[in-house]
Amino acid sequence: MVITVSLVVLFGLALFFLLRFKQVSPGSAFTAVMFGFFLASTGAAEPINRVAESLIQAATNL
């Protein structure tokens, strides 16, 4: 749970700065957020979470 919240904050900050520096339009940002929201409710959410946890675990062991 802590990892998920941290990743949400990280990606939220990245999206905020992309919008701030006009690298992404508001419409593109909305599309990205909605894609993530709907992807989280599919069967792909669990494998994506496992991959993210594995990558974080590998990074901490470096």
Q: For 34-55, what is the mean pLDDT?
A: 87
| pLDDT at residue 3, as a whole number | 65
For residue 25, which of 15, 14, 39, 13 has the smallest C-alpha distance? 15
How confident is residue 49, by pLDDT bands cut at 50, 70 and 90? confident
User: pTM for the complete prediction?
Assistant: 0.62
Q: Are 36 and 45 in contact (CB under 8 A)?
A: no
C-alpha–C-alpha distance, residues 9 and 32, integer Å: 15
Report whether pLDDT(4) > 70: no
**SS3 of residue 43 by DSSP:** coil
